[in-house]
Structure formats: structure tokens, C-alpha cells
């Protein structure tokens, strides 16, 4: 039984499905011509990922007898980054950072590593994409030179693991997982098997030695991290670095986090000298807003624990063809269609004969029912060609019968609005009753869309 066997499998490069026989179409995801032959040597390590070196196979223990040392964390010093991680880097954790090419993943990780290398911690940056010279040129430019930050250009997984064993860094970054190569497999770097194997081997090491590992992953055109979904299941934390390359703003978003809340975001701006933190995103997203314009309103969205004010814009114009168009950026298309139907029915606005275009300024995405009333207000304001009162923030979820439902964390939202110089807030009646009243802010509670229309203009 101890004999090592070599076998050949066909792996779908789109979804990771494996079959012993070649097929033109993947049975799992239905894509054509994605199966590639790979030779695999059966791995000789058992399922002992979690046991420590020198220990035999793991044995069940009573949960209350486990000695917890408390989650040990170290900090990058970039507060936006630390917060998204759930309060610093957890020892032995494995973090996947995904994002489009050129968005700034390598820059972000270089800066984070530099932060971690303070206090004389030795850290290692492995790049399979750039030469050491390129890395050092970039590092000079963004001011992350340090004698504790080691860089190497390498794609061979065995050599990297050997390097780590010798150097014993406190943190490891692998840029990118798609360039890693394991000679046990015949397929090319970037193929599903290579990516999966590299991730597994690195994770094994992270869990055994307590070394935090960051892996950078490319994102496919469809927006998923290239390689199997499995990758996302394997790691502890998945962060996406996103943003429109036409804007300088970048958002780091936690999609999965075993050590903290998802929904947390960190906001950065790309400058000539690397990424800068944006501590007050509301101010940034509202800078170019002009008061008293029809179709523009401000709402307050919660991103994790943090309230952010955003401007939503709507434009309505009469339909020139039969079916009205709904072109929506940054908001849920179905949500807008649903709210347009409520407005048609409850407010008697003839939107069926109008195209609706909506946008959230600054390339931000808002995905929260609390923005409903804001959407209604923006569309109504453009439709009626009447600006909403100046310095007003609009909050509330809208139901199908036109009722306004309460929103969460009302005090945080009102406080942020006040901080940004707003003086009026239209909010659900039920939330008003829950909130601690604030004398310097006019709070207008409404319980239906008709009522909201009355106080809006």
C-alpha cells in the first residue's frame, strides 16, 4: 500500500472538476475545451494538516480543556488594512488578496509588509512576477526600504518552502499564487492543480509554524479569483482589492474572514508615492457635489461598522422606444425597478414612460435596503425637476406598499451626517423613536413614501 502511484487526471481549468477521461465539455460547469491532462503523484502525507511537528495524528480533546493563548495579532500600522483584517494579522492565518491586474495589490502588500517589518521583524516577499530589481525600484519610490524586508524572485514552491525554513520570517507574502510551480505536477503554473497544490502546501506550513501567509490572486474577467472556488474555502480570509482604474480610490473589502467581520472596508487612494489611507471617506465622496441640483441626494450607507455618506444621482427622460430603459450603476438593478413600481403606484408618477439612469458618485457600490428612500428621492427629484432641500440626508427602507421601514444603526448614521455638516435628516418614524434625539439636527420621521415626499422638497 505504501507504493507511490502516478496517475493522470483531466482537470477543468474553469471550475476544478476532475475526471479520469478526456471530454470536450466539462460536466460540472458546462464550459467547452477546458479539460487539461495533468499527472499527479499521489501525495504521501496523510490528512495531518493540523497536527504539530513531532506529534502523531490528531486526537479529539474536550473543547474546554484546550489551552487558548488568545489570538495573537501583529499590526501593519496601516489602520485601514488592520481593520479589514479584523484588527491586525492573526498568527498562522492564511489571507488571500484578490483583485484586477494593475489595481495595486503588489503595492498594498509591499506597504503592509514594510509596516510589519518595523520592530525588527524579518519579513519575506516572494514575487513570481517581478524581478528583485523591479521590486526594489518600486520600494524606493514608495519609501518602503528596510533591512528587515527581504525580497526574492522565485516560482518554485519547494525552494520557497526551503527558504522560509531557513530564513524563518515573521510574515510571508506570495505574489501571485498563479505563478507558483510545483514540480510534482506536470501542468503549467496557473492551472487549477498547481494553484490548489501551492495553496495547500503553504497552508500546511502556516498552520504548522504559526507563520501568517498572504497570497495574492488574480481575478478572472467574470470577477472570481482565478482557479477553483476551492481556494476561497481553503484560506482563512479573503480580501478583494477593488476600484475603478479611472478613479484614484481603491476599496479593500473582506469577503470572508474567520477572525473578524466581513463587510468591513478600507478606503485608499493611489498616489505617486504608493497607497494613502483615506480616513474620512464621506468627505471624499461628497467633494464634487453641488447643492440644489435636481436628481442628486445624499444617503448614509453602513460599511461594516462604519457609516459613509454617498451621493446618489438619478436622471429620468422620456422613453423614445417602447420599453423604458433602466441603466443602473453602483446599485441593485432589481431594487431600482421595484422602487420605480412603488412610485408609479403610490405616488402616481408615470415612470413607465421614462428611462431611468442612476449612478452612485465616486464609483462606490451601495447594497443596502436603507438606501431605498434615497433612491426614491433621487428619481422623484429628477422626475419633478425639483432639488431636494439642501443639507439633507435621506435614510429608510421602502416596502412594497409604500411604507417606510426602520434602518439599523441610526445613531451612527445621524452622527456621521452631522459631522459632515448636514442639518436635516429624513428617516423612518420607527428609527426616530429609537434614536437618541440630537438638538442640532432636524430629524423628520416619516412612515410612508407620500409623507416623505411632503418633507423632501
Instruction: List residues binding ligand TYD (CB under 6 A).
Output: 99, 101-107, 138, 141-142, 270, 272-274
Supply the minimum distance, in Å, between the C-beta of residue 52 and ligand TYD: 34
C-alpha separations of 179 from 196, 200, 204, 299, 376 in Å: 12, 15, 19, 43, 48
Supply the minimum distance, in Å, between the C-beta of residue 102 and ligand TYD: 5
Q: What is the phi/psi pair of residue 387, to 5°?
A: -70, 145
Q: Does 127 bind Mg ion (CB under 5 A)?
A: no
Percentage helix, strand, coil, to 5, in the chain?
Answer: 30, 30, 40
Residue 340 binding: pick among Mg ion, ligand TYD, none (C-beta 5-8 Å cut-off by kind): none
Sign of the dihedral defined by the CA atoms of residues 125, 127, 132, 135, in that order: negative
Q: What is the DSSP letter of 78?
A: -
Identity of the residue, 28 or 129, whose beta carbon is nearer to ligand TYD in the bound complex: 129
CA 342 to chain centroid: 32
Q: What span, in angstroms and rounded, lies between the C-alpha atoms of 149 and 168?
A: 13
Identity of the residue, 218 or 424, whose beta carbon is nearer to Mg ion in the bound complex: 218
CA–CA–CA angle 21, 23, 24 (5° rounding): 165
Supply the minimum distance, in Å, between the C-beta of residue 182 and ligand TYD: 22
Supply the minimum distance, in Å, between the C-beta of residue 169 and ligand TYD: 20
Supply the minimum distance, in Å, between the C-beta of residue 245 and ligand TYD: 8
**Count, residues near Mg ion per rule CB under 5 A:** 1
Identity of the residue, 43 or 143, whose beta carbon is nearer to ligand TYD in the bound complex: 143
Residue 99 binding: pick among ligand TYD, Mg ion, none (C-beta 5-8 Å cut-off by kind): ligand TYD
CA 394 to chain centroid: 26
Supply the minimum distance, in Å, between the C-beta of residue 142 and ligand TYD: 5
Residue nearest to Mg ion according to CB distances in the complex: 106
Residue 402 binding: pick among ligand TYD, Mg ion, none (C-beta 5-8 Å cut-off by kind): none
Identity of the residue, 213 or 270, whose beta carbon is nearer to ligand TYD in the bound complex: 270
Please count the other Cβ atoms lying within 10 Å of the Cβ belonging to residue 17: 19
Identity of the residue, 106 or 382, whose beta carbon is nearer to Mg ion in the bound complex: 106
Which residues in the 96-115 window bind Mg ion by CB under 5 A?
A: 106
C-alpha separations of 303 from 236, 363, 376, 413, 415 in Å: 21, 15, 21, 11, 15
Residues that bind Mg ion (CB under 5 A): 106
Amino acid at each position: 500500500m505504501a507504493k507511490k502511484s502516478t496517475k493522470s487526471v483531466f482537470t477543468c481549468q474553469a471550475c476544478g472538476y476532475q475526471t479520469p477521461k478526456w471530454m470536450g465539455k466539462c460536466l460540472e460547469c458546462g464550459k467547452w475545451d477546458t479539460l487539461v491532462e495533468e499527472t499527479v503523484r499521489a501525495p504521501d502525507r496523510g490528512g495531518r494538516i493540523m497536527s504539530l511537528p513531532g506529534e502523531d495524528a490528531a486526537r479529539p480533546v474536550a473543547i474546554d480543556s484546550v489551552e487558548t493563548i488568545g489570538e495573537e495579532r501583529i499590526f501593519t500600522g496601516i489602520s485601514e488594512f488592520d481593520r479589514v483584517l479584523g484588527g491586525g494579522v492573526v498568527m498562522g492565518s492564511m489571507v488571500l488578496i484578490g483583485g484586477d491586474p494593475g489595481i495595486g495589490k503588489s503595492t498594498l502588500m509591499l506597504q503592509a509588509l514594510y509596516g510589519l517589518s518595523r520592530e525588527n521583524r524579518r519579513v519575506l516577499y516572494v514575487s513570481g512576477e517581478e524581478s528583485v530589481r523591479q521590486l526594489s525600484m518600486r520600494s524606493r519610490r514608495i519609501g518602503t526600504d528596510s533591512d528587515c524586508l527581504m525580497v526574492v524572485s522565485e516560482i518554485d514552491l519547494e525552494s520557497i518552502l526551503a527558504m522560509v525554513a531557513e530564513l524563518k520570517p515573521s510574515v510571508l507574502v506570495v505574489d501571485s499564487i498563479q505563478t507558483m510551480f510545483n514540480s510534482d505536477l506536470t501542468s503549467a503554473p496557473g492551472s487549477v492543480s498547481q494553484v490548489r497544490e501551492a495553496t495547500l502546501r503553504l497552508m500546511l506550513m502556516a498552520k504548522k509554524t504559526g507563520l501568517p501567509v498572504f497570497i495574492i490572486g488574480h481575478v478572472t474577467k467574470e470577477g472570481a479569483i482565478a482557479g477553483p472556488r476551492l481556494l476561497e474555502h481553503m484560506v482563512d480570509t479573503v480580501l478583494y482589492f477593488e476600484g475603478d482604474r479611472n478613479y484614484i480610490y481603491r476599496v479593500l473589502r473582506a469577503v470572508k474572514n474567520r477572525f473578524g467581520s466581513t463587510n468591513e472596508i478600507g478606503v485608499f487612494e493611489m498616489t505617486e508615492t504608493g497607497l494613502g489611507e483615506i480616513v474620512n471617506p464621506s468627505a471624499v465622496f461628497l467633494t464634487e457635489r453641488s447643492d440644489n441640483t435636481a436628481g442628486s441626494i445624499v444617503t448614509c450607507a453602513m460599511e461594516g461598522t462604519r457609516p459613509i455618506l454617498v451621493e446618489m444621482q438619478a436622471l429620468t427622460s422620456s422613453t423614445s422606444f417602447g420599453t423604458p430603459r433602466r441603466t443602473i450603476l453602483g446599485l441593485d438593478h432589481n431594487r431600482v425597478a421595484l422602487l420605480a413600481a412603488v412610485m408609479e403606484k403610490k405616488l402616481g408618477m408615470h415612470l413607465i414612460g421614462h428611462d431611468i439612469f442612476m449612478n452612485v458618485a465616486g464609483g462606490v457600490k451601495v447594497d443596502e435596503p436603507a438606501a431605498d428612500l434615497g433612491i426614491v428621492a433621487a428619481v422623484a427629484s429628477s422626475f419633478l425637476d425639483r432639488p431636494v432641500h439642501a443639507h439633507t440626508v435621506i435614510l429608510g427602507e421602502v416596502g412594497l406598499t409604500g411604507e417606510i421601514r426602520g434602518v439599523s444603526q441610526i445613531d451612527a448614521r445621524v452622527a456621521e451626517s452631522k459631522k459632515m455638516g448636514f442639518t436635516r435628516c429624513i428617516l423612518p418614524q420607527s428609527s426616530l423613536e429609537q434614536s437618541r434625539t440630537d438638538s442640532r439636527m432636524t430629524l423628520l420621521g416619516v412612515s410612508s413614501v407620500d409623507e416623505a415626499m411632503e418633507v423632501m422638497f
